[in-house]
């Protein structure tokens, strides 16, 4: 399973989501992720909204296997339910 985290370096929730993804990468053979800094890449929240298929107001925005999961707390809940042992 491949996860993409869209965030900003100055965002504490983005840092938290990235830390969880790093933990999952070390614990699971089937998990990998990519972190995309939206400011460095010139990606807007409108671009993320188009990708998510709904309005987004915050970062991070997280996709697992191209399915929109949501923000940091959504990712934490998803990981707790489906990915952590």
Range of the domain at 41: 2-83
Q: How many domains does the chain fold into?
A: 1
Task: Encode 62-82: b = buried (16+ Cβ within 10 Å), e = exposed.
Answer: bbbeeeebbbbeebbebbeee
What CATH number should be reported for the domain holding residue 23? 3.40.30.10
Helix H or strand E encompassing 51? helix 45-52
Residue bearing tokens 């400011």: 39
The upper half-sphere exposure of residue 34, i.e. CA atoms within 13 Å in the direction of its Cβ, equals 8
pLDDT tens by residue, the chain, 85 residues: 999 999 999 999 999 999 999 999 999 999 999 999 999 999 999 999 999 999 999 999 999 999 999 999 999 999 999 998 6
């Amino acid at each position: 399973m491949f996860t993409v985290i869209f965030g900003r370096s100055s965002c504490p929730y983005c840092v938290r989501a990235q830390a969880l993804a790093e933990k999952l990468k070390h614990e699971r053979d089937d998990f990998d992720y990519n972190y995309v800094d939206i400011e460095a890449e010139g990606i807007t929240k409108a671009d993320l909204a188009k990708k998510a298929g709904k309005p987004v107001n915050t970062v991070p925005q997280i996709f697992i296997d191209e399915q929109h999961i949501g923000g940091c707390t959504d990712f934490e809940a998803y990981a707790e339910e489906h990915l952590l042992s």
